Amino acid sequence: MVRHLENTQDALAELRIGQRGTLVVGVHPSDLDYHITKQLIDFHADFPKVKLQLVTSINEGSYSG
């Protein structure tokens, strides 16, 4: 129980410092052209603690948080 509380406190402290987490983006493979790729690179540069996950096919399944 104490360890869970410490983990929660650590997570809250990280949220106060900056954004973090995972952003899941569904995109058709043919849409991964220069423009979208550049936007993803720019986003990662602005938010380096946010993990980007690309889903490029319906066959990969759905994301369930």
pLDDT in tens, 9-51: 776 566 567 777 888 888 887 777 766 788 888 888 888 888 8
* Reported pTM: 0.54
Q: Which pLDDT score is estimated for 45?
A: 87
Name the residue ranges covered by the structural domains of the chain: 19-59
Residue type, 54: L
Taking the mean position of all CA atoms in its chain, how far away is CA 53?
A: 6
Res. 63: pLDDT tops 60: no
* Rounded Cα distance, 48 and 44, in Å: 5
